[in-house]
C-alpha cells in the first residue's frame, strides 16, 4: 500500500514516514506543492491514498486534492493546524475523505487511514488514465486529450493509439499492429491504410508531425511510443 505524504514540516514528515513504515505502508514523501504536483502528474496510478497538509509554502492542499481527484478516485486525508468548521467543510466538499488536526497521535491517523481504505474497497483498480508527454488517454471515456483539450479521433485511430499506449516502450512491428486492428468496426486494414492512420495520428497529436516525438519510427522494425 503506497501513500503520498505531503507535509512541509520536515520533523513531522520524518516522524510520519517512519511511523507509517512500521505499519507496513510505503510512503512517497513531498515537502512542497511543486514536487507533489509532479508525483500526481506522473505517478498517481501507483498511489493508493494521499495525506495532504493544507498549508504548504508554495501552494495549498486543496489544490492538490482537486488535481488528484481529476485523475483518480482515491482516498484523501487532510492534515491541518486549524480546527474550525469552515476548513473542515471546505475540505470535505472538495472530495476529501477525512480530516485530522495537528497535533495528533499516530495510532489515530493509522485508524483513519484503514477506515477510508476499507470504505474504498481496496481491490485492484484498472488504470483509467494513461499519460504520454502532453497527451492523456481516458480509457473510461474513450477520449484523448492534448494539453487538457480533447482531440477528436475516429474509432480506429483511438484503438491504434491505445495499442501503442498499452505497450509503452515496446517496438511494435507493422504486422503486430495490423493483427490487432484489422477487425475494428468490421473494416479490413491493409498496410497502406495503416500508414495513413499513423500519419493522421501524428497530425492530431504531435507538435511537429514531421519530427514526431510521441509515435516514433524505429527504422527497419516498426514504431514505438514512450521510452
Residue with cell 517496438: 171
The pLDDT > 90 percentage for the chain reads 49
Radius of gyration of the chain (CA): 22
Of 7, 66, 12, 52, the C-alpha closest to 32 is 7
Q: Which three cell numbers stand for residue 72?
A: 483518480
Distance of CA 61 to the CA centre of its chain: 17
Cα 52 versus chain centre, distance = 17
pLDDT digits (tens, 9 = 90+) for 76-131: 999 887 665 566 677 777 778 888 888 888 888 988 898 888 887 654 455 678 89
Minimum mean pLDDT among 108-112, 122-126, 171-175, 191-195: which range? 122-126
Q: Percentage of residues in the chain with pLDDT exceeding 70? A: 90
Question: pLDDT tens, 22-46?
Answer: 888 999 999 999 999 999 999 999 9
CATH number for the domain formed by residue range(s) 2-119: 3.40.50.2300
Whether residue 172 contacts residue 180, with contact meaning beta carbons closer than 8 Å, is answered with: no
**Res 185: pLDDT:** 43
pLDDT at residue 184, rounded to an integer: 45
CATH number for the region 129-225 comes to 1.10.10.10
pLDDT value of position 82:
66
Question: Which segments of the chain belong to CATH 1.10.10.10?
Answer: 129-225
Q: Is 133 left (phi over 0), alpha (psi -120 to 50) or beta?
A: left
Stretch(es) of the chain classified as CATH 3.40.50.2300 = 2-119
Instruction: State yes or no: pLDDT of 9 exceeds 50.
Output: yes
| Confidence at 140, pLDDT banded by 50, 70, 90 | confident
- 139, 146 in Cβ contact below 8 A? no
Amino acid at each position: 500500500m503506497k501513500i503520498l505524504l505531503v507535509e512541509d514540516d520536515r520533523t513531522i514528515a520524518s516522524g510520519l514516514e517512519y511511523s507509517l513504515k512500521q505499519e507496513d505502508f510505503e510512503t512517497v514523501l513531498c515537502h512542497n506543492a511543486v514536487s507533489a504536483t509532479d508525483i500526481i502528474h506522473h505517478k498517481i496510478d501507483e498511489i493508493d491514498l494521499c495525506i495532504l497538509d493544507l498549508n504548504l509554502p508554495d501552494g495549498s492542499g486543496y489544490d492538490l486534492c482537486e488535481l488528484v481527484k481529476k485523475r483518480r478516485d482515491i482516498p484523501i486525508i487532510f492534515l491541518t493546524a486549524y480546527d474550525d468548521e469552515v476548513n473542515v467543510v471546505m475540505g470535505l466538499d472538495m472530495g476529501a475523505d477525512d480530516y485530522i488536526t495537528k497535533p495528533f497521535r499516530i495510532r489515530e491517523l493509522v485508524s483513519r487511514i484503514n477506515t477510508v481504505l476499507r470504505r474504498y474497497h481496496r481491490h485492484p483498480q484498472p488504470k483509467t488514465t494513461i499519460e504520454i508527454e502532453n497527451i492523456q488517454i481516458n480509457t473510461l471515456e474513450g477520449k484523448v486529450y492534448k494539453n487538457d483539450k480533447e482531440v477528436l479521433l475516429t474509432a480506429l485511430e483511438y484503438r491504434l493509439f491505445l495499442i501503442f499506449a498499452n505497450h509503452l516502450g515496446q517496438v511494435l512491428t507493422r504486422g503486430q499492429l495490423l493483427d490487432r486492428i484489422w477487425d475494428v468496426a468490421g473494416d479490413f486494414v491493409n498496410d497502406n491504410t495503416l500508414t495513413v492512420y499513423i500519419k493522421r495520428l501524428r497530425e492530431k497529436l504531435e507538435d511537429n508531425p514531421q519530427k514526431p516525438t510521441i509515435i516514433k519510427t524505429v527504422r527497419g522494425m516498426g514504431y514505438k511510443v514512450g521510452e
